[in-house]
Amino acid sequence: MRVGLLAVFWLLSALLSSAQAGLVLDTTQVEQALARGAVLWDARSAADYAQGHIPGAVNLGSVGDVFRDPHREDPPSAAVASLLFGRAGMDILNRDVVVYATQGDPYAYFAARMIEYYGGPHAKVYHGGIDAWKSAGKPLSQQVTTLPPVTLNLTQERVGTLWTQDVIERVRAGGAQIVDTRTPKEFSGEDIRAIRGGHIQGAISIPYESNWQDPAAALKLASRQVSHREGMALKQQNDLRALYAKLDPEKETVVYCQSGVRASETAVILRDLGFTRVKVYEPSWLGYAGVLNAPAENEVFVNVGAINGQISALQGKLRTLEAELAKLQPRH
């Protein structure tokens, strides 16, 4: 009976998705949204934007720098966001927004989620981004788009998110549906990026790259096995449904990563598939790991003494190299 109900759910979800555009758009849907007056947000760096962007797109600089505290990696206050969006002419409360970056870039999804975070309707994402736009033979512009400034008084924060105490309570109560979108080595505790490694108790591992046609595409690009981002194109809907088939689409789904960026991509895709109770754990593992009594699995602690020893050894080698270089300098 349970399998039958899920099949009916997915069928209804597929019919709904075909009847109206979801949160993830293709090139044609982006053009249609722009024709309706949507704001187009290029979430890349100012330098990348200057080299060529979709005509009419606005840019605030790299979204990861603008909307994340460099230490805690949390979004800024609503007051700060009011100024950022207002100066850019982005009335996020009353206008639709479409966000893009490069193909598959989770920062585009993070940017889109920031609209909802401050009380606006969740922005849509052009997953193919600048790469798909160019592949379709569409024009690029190097002219900066400036919209008239707007006065915003954003009063909401943290919409669509959970925070550390919320997640701890759910874990201790049992039965929480939690998706870890980090790498398998982060999940297992082999790759430690916070005060401790491991994962939230009861979480299942589905790396965000699993949403792509080739989950290894980023590694292939970094190692120069390929020179393009084609493998980062989104899987077909049926394949995405199969990827998340073990999850209950009617149950609250908590998605996390290291700091909420990678999780944003999976969260939007789940919502696009019809999951209605998706929440991003905003501080993610960076916040959870810092609460030492928060229930975790594959728990591994950072050996601070060993790290300090390695740093001291490197500093010693650096001093030796500097001394050798000084000997090679010509004397006057």
Mean pLDDT over 179-207 rounds to 97
Predicted TM-score (pTM) above 0.85: yes
Q: Average the pLDDT over each of 118-127, 210-219, 251-260, 303-312 and give the range with the smallest value.
A: 303-312
Residues 271-293, mean pLDDT to the nearest whole number: 96
pLDDT band at 20 (very low <50, low <70, confident <90, very high): very low
Q: Where are the domains of the chain?
A: 17-135, 161-206+244-304
Q: The domain 161-206+244-304 is classified under which CATH number: 3.20.20.120, 3.40.250.10, 3.20.20.10, 1.10.10.10?
A: 3.40.250.10
pLDDT band at 15 (very low <50, low <70, confident <90, very high): very low
Q: Are the beta carbons of 285 and 257 closer than 8 angstroms?
A: yes
pLDDT of residue 19: 34
Q: 161-206+244-304: same fold as 17-135? A: yes
From residue 124, alpha-carbon distances to 102, 112, 230 in Å are: 15, 6, 21
Residue 19, CA atoms < 13 Å, CB-side half-sphere = 6
Per CATH, the homologous superfamily of domain 17-135 is Rhodanese-like domain (3.40.250.10)
* Both structure tokens of 4: 């039958």
Taking CA atoms, 257 is separated from 114, 180, 305, in Å, by 16, 6, 27
Directed axis angle between helix 262-273 and helix 106-117, to 10°?
70
DSSP assigned state of 331? P
**What is the per-residue pLDDT across 64-101, written as a single tens digit (0 to 9) for each?**
999 998 877 899 999 999 999 999 999 999 999 999 99
Looking at residue 294, its pLDDT comes to 97
Sign (positive or negative) of CA dihedral 282, 122, 37, 80:
negative
Position 327 scores a pLDDT of 80
pLDDT tops 60 at residue 6 = no
* Contact yes or no for 129/57 (Cβ under 8 A): no
- The count of other CB atoms within 10 Å of the CB of residue 16 is 11
- Of 153, 110, 49, 148, give the one whose Cα is nearest residue 264: 110
Q: List, for residues 126-162, the tens digit of each pLDDT value.
A: 999 999 999 999 999 999 999 999 999 999 999 999 9
Q: How far is C-alpha 213 from the chain's CA centre? A: 17
CA angle 122, 143, 85 (to 5 degrees): 30
Beta bridge partners of 197: 300
- Per the CB < 8 A criterion, the answer to whether 244 and 273 are in contact is yes
